[in-house]
Structure 1
Amino acid sequence: MKTLKFKTNIKCDGCITTVTPHLDALPGLEQWTVDTNVPDKILTVTGSTEALTQEVIDTLKKAGYQAELI
């Protein structure tokens, strides 16, 4: 398992609702949370796949959001 943190533009509960089905469908992604109370809107993901970083970035891009590994 690895845990990664991303700076995102997921700003509110509506944004979280939009990305939920996309992130939940990612194979190997065990858990994820978004802290919208900090300026960088930090997405924390835990998963078991080697390509997790790129998969999360690509998945959020398809949903209309940005993610940058921090």
Structure 2
Amino acid sequence: METLNFKTTIKCGGCVATVTPFLNDIEQLDGWNVDTNSPDKILTVQTTDNRIGDVVKKAVEKAGFKAEPIPRP
């Protein structure tokens, strides 16, 4: 299982509700969460395929938000 993190513009529960169907449509995601209390509004996704970063980014953008991958240390 891989964990990918993204800095986003998802700010509130309503924003999370808007992005939910787009993220739920990604078959390779085993789960996801947005920390709206974090200053960077971190989206964390769990996946078995760490190559889906672009797919996640595009799904968030389709919902009207921005997502930038946070590089792993």
Shared fold by TM > 0.5? Answer: yes
Give the TM-score taking structure 2 as reference length: 0.90
Distance 2:10 2:34 in 1: 8
Could you tell me which residue of structure 1 aligns to residue 43 of structure 2? Answer: 43
Could you tell me which residue of structure 1 aligns to residue 16 of structure 2? Answer: 16
Distance 2:50 2:41 in 1: 24
Could you tell me which residue of structure 1 aligns to residue 25 of structure 2? Answer: 25
Distance 2:50 2:69 in 1: 15
Secondary structure, counterpart of 1:27 in structure 2: coil
- Count residues with an aligned counterpart: 70
Give the TM-score taking structure 1 as reference length: 0.94
Distance 2:5 2:17 in 1: 19
Distance 1:62 1:9 in 2: 13
- Moved beyond 6 Å, runs of 4+: none
Could you tell me which residue of structure 1 aligns to residue 66 of structure 2? Answer: 66
Shift of the alpha carbon at 1:50? Answer: 4.2
Structure 2 stretches lacking a partner, 5+ long: none
